[in-house]
Structure 1
Amino acid sequence: MALQATVLRLMTITEAFCVGRLVELADLSSEANAASPRRAMLDDALMHASGSWQAMERAFKDWHSVKPSWSSLRGPTEVRNAVAHGLGALTHRQKLSRTATVSRINSVGAGVNEFDRIRLDPAIVTAIAEVCATFIRDLDARSFREF
């Protein structure tokens, strides 16, 4: 349980950094009036862009020409989704593309047992932490600007 909780926290931190940086890059301070139509459009676009990893990837690329290696997060994201939505086992959605899902999970050293439960150990969680930290550093370097 503690290993699963740690993966959830690591992915939450990574996601929060991504969303926070997207908001910073949108520079909402230029539109301080929260009731203005422009601000409403920005808020709506940011809500949509932060709804999934794929939407965030598109927003960074299309709005800011920022293109980190999102593929490194695919394995940790699958592990996180199994933990968060499948209580430690593959979800129905993950089972629909089982081969690809298991391949992504295996890419970070984790595994799936015969009951579709995720196998984790401390070394795998450490590897996921390093993937997350590397991604955050890369996104930070590619998207940093003085605010």
Structure 2
Amino acid sequence: MEAEDPRAAALFDRASRQLPDGAKFVMGKEAAKSHGTWDARKEALTKVFGIRAGNFRSWQALDGAIWVRNSIAHGSGGLSRMQKRAEATKAEALGVALIDGRLYLRDESVARCVDACCAFVVELDDAAGPLI
């Protein structure tokens, strides 16, 4: 299990300062479980802030960047046990080649992953701006 992201905790804390104690309790529970997976993060953003990150224009590219990251972090550059070969199109859309079950990144594909992350952060900031 991943450690809780202090930035996520700070975001939930800032957003809950003016709430009644019961709402703070519920928000705290959402914050505690939101760091485990991207599905949990998306669910928490929706439940707590009303932000539907999966509907962002940047989501599909970010999902591909997450898939590539997980292949590197958990599969040593190949498919991890949790990944399906059918999902490789996520990486290919970012210019990352999958050859014989291994990912091959080029400068251009790394730049596309970075761009995907930056675009998502901009959309998230725009959506959350009035909330925090």
TM bracket, shorter-chain basis: 0.7 to 0.9
Does residue 78 of structure 1 match 2:88?
A: no
The aligned runs of 1:77-116 (5 Å cut-off) are: 77-94=66-83, 97-99=84-86, 101-114=87-100, 116=101
Q: Normalised by the size of structure 1, how large is the TM-score?
A: 0.70
Partner amino acid, structure 2, of 1:86 = G
CA distance in 1, matches of 2:104, 2:8: 29
Q: Distance in 2 between the 1:22 and 1:56 partners?
A: 12
Letter of the structure 2 residue corresponding to residue 106 of structure 1 = E
Q: TM-score, normalised to structure 2's length?
A: 0.77
State how far apart, in whole Å, the 2-side matches of 1:67 and 1:25 are: 19
Runs of at least 4 residues off by over 6 Å: none
Supply the AA of the counterpart residue of 2:50: S
**CA-to-partner distance for each residue in 1:31-85, whole Å, 9 max, x for gaps?**
8xxxx88756543321212211111111112222112323331110110001000
In the TM superposition, what whole-angstrom CA distance separates every residue of 1:81-101 from its partner, at most 9, and x where no partner exists? 01000111111111xx211x2
The answer to whether the 8 A contact 1:22-1:60 is kept is no
Give the RMSD, CA atoms, in angstroms.
2.7
Superposition deviation, residue 25 in structure 1: 5.6
Q: Which has the higher contact order (CA 8 A, sep 6+)?
A: 1
Question: CA separation of 1:21/1:109 partners in 2, compared to 1, >3 Å: closer, same or farther?
Answer: farther
Task: Please give the secondary structure, in 2, of the residue aligned with 1:112.
Answer: strand
Unaligned runs of 5+ in 1: 1-15
Once residues 52 and 26 of structure 2 are traced to their aligned partners in structure 1, the CA distance between those partners, rounded to angstroms, is 24
- Unpaired runs of at least 5, structure 2: none
Identity of aligned residues (%): 22
Equivalence for 2:111: 126
Contact residue 17 and residue 136 of structure 1 kept, 8 A: no
Higher helix proportion: 1
